[in-house]
Chains A and B, each alone.
Chain A
Amino acid sequence: MAAPLALVLVVAVTVRAALFRSSLAEFISERVEVVSPLSSWKREWLKAFHCWTWEYLHILEQYFMKVSFCHPGWSAMAQSRLTATSTSQVQATPLPQPPEQLGPQTPLIIYLFHFLIDYAELVFMITDALTAIALYFAIQDFNKVVFKKQKLLLELDQYAPDVAELIRTPMEMRYIPLKVALFYLLNPYTILSCVAKSTCAINNTLIAFFILTTIKGSAFLSAIFLALATYQSLYPLTLFVPGLLYLLQRQYIPVKMKSKAFWIFSWEYAMMYVGSLVVIVCLSFFLLSSWDFIPAVYGFILSVPDLTPNIGLFWYFFAEMFEHFSLFFVCVFQINVFFYTIPLAIKLKEHPIFFMFIQIAIIAIFKSYPTVGDVALYMAFFPVWNHLYRFLRNIFVLTCIIIVCSLLFPVLWHLWIYAGSANSNFFYAITLTFNVGQILLISDYFYAFLRREYYLTHGLYLTAKDGTEAMLVLK
């Protein structure tokens, strides 16, 4: 099995290397779909860190101010505002303030690239490869666990008698890890974000390693990687719950409020997680001798000051809003990421990896500066749920919607920014459609998963009370 994986890796690296050398690289690295202010990687930013002293920070401050004003999106926003105010549909609101302190990159990343600045292309290719390898081994292990569990339940006669066709076979499960690696490495979204050197690739690697270590059952490493991922982009915080659930399941500890073992393990895991987070944050403090990076990075993520258009839901909404409502709506928008964790944890208590998949998707949809790289991470999991295929209802329509939107992003951007014949509403309409498509796709998977579980225990051919065939309806 190692040979096909190696082949996929070689193909993926070749494609990336070719694109890095082509004239497209520069074009891609300026696409708003691929890089966000949070993930864009500017060589100049890092050059400025060559001398790591306190004085440098002031120069940097000014530099960031300049960078954010020169950002292509800013002129676009200013343009759209001009149009908006001149047609007097919208009250004039002040332009969003540029980030005032340190750039929105975490200190460790900047420190890392301080050494690797000349090998950036290599680094981004390696992180992609590492993500794929981590996912490959994680899913390989996960499939073994799933198969074992299924065997156990079959022996215990837990399944309904007529569900033979729903039972998964080793034959069909054999190529799933390879497909996962393939889906991640050759997904155009991943390739684009690698070529754009979006630091999203690094966040994905951390999350992939968190998944790998969780599935391997190492609570300590899992906590460290989760802390690193949280440190990088804050939102992976929500993955704590599925991670914990999986580790509990692995150690056969029942998730019960009264169980002592449950509380002890949860406490341990939480402490490991918080401990590593504190260590990492303190490390950053010692690097910088200042706490400025906390408001600069996490304040930047949470309060959404940069309204450069992206594929998310935030920018347009906050560009059009009266200033004094924005705090309330920032809270409402941000709560979306965290809000679904608890109901999902209750519903998917027994299936933490599926829960993790849904949660990663939710982060990719509702985070404040999403890029296509985030989307690519949860898309890599689609082959794992191949067995849900027959229960998916709208996969064709939704796939088409997502492909169409991906193509329309650059077209409408061109019409808006370059041709001047469309405006921001056109672009936002596509981001809305794209996100609705993603939400429907995820809920389709969710529903399919629940249906399969239901059929497994209740039998595939249900009859209603009056003897006719029954149907499951989602209400």
Chain B
Amino acid sequence: MGLLSDPVRRRALARLVLRLNAPLCVLSYVAGIAWFLALVFPPLTQRTYMSENAMGSTMVEEQFAGGDRARAFARDFAAHRKKSGALPVAWLERTMRSVGLEVYTQSFSRKLPFPDETHERYIYWAKDIIFLVTEHDLLGTEAWLEAYHDVNVTGMQSSPLQGRAGAIQAAVALELSSDVVTSLDVAVEGLNGQLPNLDLLNLFQTFCQKGGLLCTLQGKLQPQDWTSLDGPLQGLQTLLLMVLRQASGRPHGSHGLFLRYRVEALTLRGINSFRQYKYDLVAVGKALEGMFRKLNHLLERLHQSFFLYLLPALSRFVSIGLYMPAAGFLLLVLGLKALELWMQLHEAEVGLEEPGGAPGPSVPLPPSQGVGLASLVAPLLISQAMGLALYVLPVLGQHVATQHFPVAEAEAVVLTLLAIYAAGLALPHNTHRVVSTQAPDRGWMALKLVALIYLALQLGCIALTNFSLGFLLATTMVPAAALAKPHGPRTLYAALLVLTSPAATLLGSLFLWRELQEAPLSLAEGWQLFLAALAQGVLEHHTYGALLFPLLSLGLYPCWLLFWNVLFWK
């Protein structure tokens, strides 16, 4: 409060912010990035530990002996499936009943906003006391979850469930494509970047260690040596992969849909690679049995451990308190820039902030304050309308597009998306009018001020719910946003702004992702993947309620257009 009301100290602070603004911004940005990179080093990344008493102290002895039977079932299943070409529902029903389970089937239908050809078929076993076998990718899981909880959030039509248990405490989705595995890969990232309680992962890891199973995270083995540089570097790769996956907001495995219903869940994928040593179903069965028996001890929901974390390795984590400063430093750049602009605007307006500060006649308060605000309304409305068009038109206009152009619906959606996106660059920047003759800079400064605050607000909110997405967008958008102004090397700024626009960030992320997976993309492949990702993004928004598409089209794209507008201010 002293700082807020004492004029002397205020003036000193204001001078500091104004004079050292550029170095402070650079420092803050660098600090943000450096903080993020430092997350993989031991003091910041900690060993995981089991917080839940009910699962930690008790011992479990696995007695899983059904390995042979499981193998036989698996072979039978594969044979039946090959014969019928679809999921052998009748056989499954018969077999499951024969081992003494209650069996129910549920049918569902869902109208997709546009046809999609890329559904893969897996068998998912999401099991609590419940064995769930579903069809049609994640749609089956969603249909079952909605019916189980008796809600309808995505417009799915399905038959009601005949059997129900109580509230589900945890779920493990199992994806096995063969009856022997070389390693198990675990996926935690759910819809909209939601993560399960860290204790569930700890549980899995405990049993992997106990059974000597080879476990991977993001397809990477965990580094053993954290004291030298190699361990952290490898951890950084895993961390970046996790950030990219979480930022995408896609459910990476059918566990991702459970999280929305507050059921802690993860997906285990059986990997069968060319490695020498293979595990059979007994080892996998033992690990699963152990996990379920420990979960059986739970008295209440998993809540002791972290919900917000990053994983540089399976046994290492970074908690929210330690990674948030990275995003904080990046957002500070926007705050500093906004403060500087505000002070410049304020000085131009009032002449002297403190009566007696700078003596002499001040400029009489111009009525331009109102005009300045009014002139911002047009660019704001236009860019927001562009965003709305980007959100609504592609899916609405697909039929028109397919009638007039030789494209399929999915292609039409993606191409309309790109067309509107590009059209936005040409549209808004000739709408504003001259604000006042005496202070020509005020117009763009006010617009940039609004845009900076708008961006900082959005990134802050996103970083709170999905840190990875917020951080990724902040890393790319902040420098260009801070630099944008209608003077100086405009071509350079324009290039930088285009390179850091949301779509370019998506493209870049795809390349980075494949690079980290050690499967680099060629340009043409990258482009194809980019188009597919756009279609998937729109589709997942409409089918599961993924929020990335509306966030980008209704929030960040209009905001980015404002900076584009600032750059081409006349």
Contacts and interface: CB of A to CB of B under 8 A. Distances in A.
A382 B354 CA distance: 21
Contacts of A411: 461, 464-465
B517 interface: no
B364 A165 contact: yes
Nearest to A426: B464
Contacts, number: 78
Interface string B365-383: 1010110000000000000
B8 interface: yes
Interface string A452-475: 000100001110000001111110
B457 A407 contact: yes
Interface stretch (B111-119, B355-363, B384-392, B518-526): B355-363
B10 A393 contact: yes
B457 A390 contact: no
Contacts of B507: none
A415 interface: yes
A27 to B, nearest CB: 13
A460 B355 contact: yes
Contacts of A418: 260, 262
Interface stretch (A4-12, A16-24, A221-229, A396-404): A396-404
Given A404-B460, A421-B307, A440-B4, A461 B355 contact: yes
A286 B457 CA distance: 52
Contacts of B301: 420
B464 A408 contact: yes
A322 interface: no
B6 interface: yes
Interface string B1-34: 0001111101000000000000000000000000
A171 interface: yes
A407 B461 contact: yes
Contact of B7 (A415, A422, A462, A473): A473
A470 B194 CA distance: 57
A82 B464 contact: no
Contacts of B357: 469
Contacts of B460: 404, 408
Interface size class of B (residues with CB under 8 A): 35 or more
Contacts of A404: 457, 460
B249 to A, nearest CB: 13
A420 to B, nearest CB: 5
B97 interface: no
Nearest to A411: B461
Given A82-B300, A165-B365, A420-B307, A455 B355 contact: yes
B308 interface: yes
B307 A408 contact: no
Given A419-B194, A421-B194, A447-B5, A414 B465 contact: yes
Contact of B453 (A175, A389, A403, A414): A403
A21 B367 CA distance: 39
Given A171-B367, A404-B457, A440-B4, A469 B359 contact: yes
Interface residues of A, number: 38
B121 interface: no
B461 A393 contact: no
Interface in A340-384: none
Contact of A470 (B262, B356, B365, B369): B356
B433 interface: no
Nearest to B335: A400
A86 B300 contact: yes
A446 to B, nearest CB: 12
Nearest to A459: B355
B47 to A, nearest CB: 21
A172 interface: yes
Given A165-B362, A165-B364, A393 B5 contact: yes
Contacts of B6: 473
Contacts of A421: 194-195, 307-308
B7 A390 contact: no
Nearest to B461: A411
B35 interface: no
Given A414-B465, A421-B307, A462 B356 contact: yes
Given A396-B339, A403-B453, 6 more contacts: A389-B369, A419-B262, A460-B356, A461-B356, A469-B356, A472-B7
Interface of B: 4-8, 10, 194-195, 260, 262, 300-301, 303, 307-308, 338-339, 342, 346, 350, 353-357, 359, 362, 364-365, 367, 369-370, 453, 457, 460-461, 464-465
Closest 5 CB pairs between A and B? A421-B307, A469-B356, A396-B342, A474-B5, A460-B355
30 contacts: A83-B303, A86-B300, A86-B303, A165-B362, A165-B365, A171-B367, A390-B365, A394-B4, A403-B453, A407-B457, A407-B461, A411-B464, A411-B465, A415-B464, A415-B465, A418-B262, A419-B262, A419-B307, A420-B301, A420-B303, A420-B307, A421-B307, A460-B356, A469-B356, A470-B356, A471-B7, A471-B354, A472-B7, A473-B5, A473-B7
